[in-house]
Amino acid sequence: MLQIYNTLSRSKQAFKPIEPGKVKMYVCGMTVYDFCHIGHARVMIVFDMVVRWLRASGFEVVYIRNITDIDDKIINRAIENGEPIAALTQRFIDAMHADSNELGLMHPDHEPRATDYITQMQGIIGCLIEKELAYHGEDGDVNFAVRLFPEYGRLSGKSLDELNAGERVAVGGGKRDPLDFVLWKSAKAEEPADTRWKSLWGEGRPGWHIECSAMSCDLLGEHFDIHGGGADLQFPHHENEIAQSEGALYGQDRKASDQPFVNYWMHNGHIRVNEEKMSKSLGNFFLIRDVLKNFDPEVLRFFMLRAHYRSPINYSDAQLEEARSGLIRLYTALAQVLVSNKAVDPHSPWVRRFADAMNDDFNTPEAIAALFDLASEVNRAQGDEKVRLANTLKGLAGTLNFLQRDPTVFLQEGSRGSDAGLSATAIEEQIAARVAAKQTKDFAKADLIRKTLLEQGVVLEDKPGGLTEWRRS
């Protein structure tokens, strides 16, 4: 049975969907004012993996990932560029989709945009005001009254007294308490007309947190199975989602027997660079499209999933090269045999080991370790057994979207950068020269060609019948 680490309970729990056989999952997506970086890539890759495994396990999954297309960063960038909000956000939505396609990721079933859900957000805000959990401040903003929601802090594990409010925002303007957060921001005179909507509280726009409550509840209902996102969203964003969603539903009198907003909260770990958290403020972030100029998308996916989704990852080119070497080992095992593409035997010990790993809170490191051990068995096997094992290797890896390409193509492609090494044509010419040298018994020259190619990252493998195959190292 699938076990999921639930941030809310701080423990692994047996996964039991609300409706048998069906899973409703919402993941916080991108704020579209710039190109996506590898931190975004990790969120996309992790929850793509989760959806793939859920579906491979027989669940019918509805996967929602939202788009934040209105907030302060977007407004500031649009003003800087002198362009309409819609033009700016659409450009970066298109870029996000291009990055996702390049990475070989599935599209969510729904990808709602915040600006399409203003009415629903206003409805929740009005409900919170009616239940006296929100108030209209003197500065025109509508704020959530955190101290009136007794359950606040469950997700972060902190009491109200423990929360360091000074790190979030000082009391000022229309706020009554530094812990209170904004639900509706009143429009500023200098802000463009396309950044404001009419409301009962004056012209303005939604706060960041309210959009996810509106979109998830509209598309999945007021009670759904899984909510995911990066670890940095646990507090305050997801904490605030719980407060405003359950507050609107139950008011100040939420009882222990009342259904929670979400049953399972999942958070993926940070990307670190030189042991520091990757962030734009530190200038140590890398765009997906820049990384993919030098590394195959499958290598980046493999790099991400070699680590457990909840663990931090230290990013470097060396780590990506190591991931590429690992993929080469797996593809090399498949290159030795014509895979049959038959359905894998569900009773195979390799299938059971792989499934046990994935069912243990999506333990991809252990699942990938099983693939490496299986590849070693493929290398040792002969005949029909080799074909059967290779078919199992490809089939299991396919549930993580690995090893589905022609092995020879992958092994010969190498890196993507301008210094990717010799072209395929140049390598074939050197192989032909080596064959000619061997035919004239100039074995010293043949050995020199092999050695020179190896120094340039090309491995030659002599096969029966005088054939020579090659791959990048």
pLDDT for 287 equals 96
Give the separation between CA 43 and CA 213, rounded to whole angstroms: 19
* CATH assignment, 18-272: 3.40.50.620
H helices present in 103-142, as ranges: 118-130
Mean pLDDT computed over 410-426 = 68
Residue written as token pair 């979030």: 168
- Is the pLDDT at 446 greater than 70? The verdict is no
pLDDT band with cut points at 50, 70 and 90 for residue 203: very high
Instruction: Give per-residue pLDDT as tens, 310-321.
Output: 999 999 999 999
Q: Domain 293-413 falls in which CATH fold?
A: Four Helix Bundle (Hemerythrin (Met), subunit A) (1.20.120)
Mean pLDDT computed over 230-254 = 94
- How far is the CA of 38 from the CAs of 101, 103, 417, in angstroms? 14, 11, 18
β-strand partners of 268? 230
For residue 406, the one-letter residue type is: D
Give the separation between CA 446 and CA 468, rounded to whole angstroms: 12
The angle formed by the CA atoms of residues 334, 367 and 55, to the nearest 5 degrees, is 95
Domain boundaries, the chain: 18-272, 293-413, 424-472
The torsion angle over the Cα atoms of residues 80, 81, 83 and 84, rounded to 10 degrees, is -50
Peptide bond into 84 cis (omega under 30): no
Give the separation between CA 472 and CA 460, rounded to whole angstroms: 9
Instruction: Give per-residue pLDDT as tens, 346-401.
Output: 889 999 999 999 999 999 999 999 999 999 999 999 999 999 999 999 999 999 99
- Two tokens, residue 90: 């659409």
pLDDT for 163 equals 75
- Is the pLDDT at 439 greater than 90? The verdict is no
Give the separation between CA 318 and CA 229, rounded to whole angstroms: 27
Residue written as token pair 């904490």: 239
- Two tokens, residue 385: 């057994």
β-pairing verdict for 262-268 and 142-144: unpaired
Instruction: Give per-residue pLDDT as tens, 156-190.
Output: 998 887 775 444 445 566 899 999 999 999 999 88
- Per cent of the chain over pLDDT 90 is 74
- Kindly report the pTM of this predicted structure: 0.90
Mean pLDDT computed over 51-73 = 97
Instruction: Give per-residue pLDDT as tens, 99-124.
Output: 999 999 999 999 999 999 999 999 99
Instruction: Confirm if 210 and 120 have CB atoms less than 8 A apart.
Output: no
DSSP secondary structure string, 197-213? Answer: B--TT-SEEE-HHHHHH
Query: Strand, coil or helix: what is 101?
Result: helix
DSSP secondary structure string, 284-299? Answer: ---BHHHHTTTS-HHH
Give the separation between CA 400 and CA 395, rounded to whole angstroms: 9
Instruction: Confirm if 391 and 340 have CB atoms less than 8 A apart.
Output: yes
268: enclosing H helix or E strand:
strand 262-268
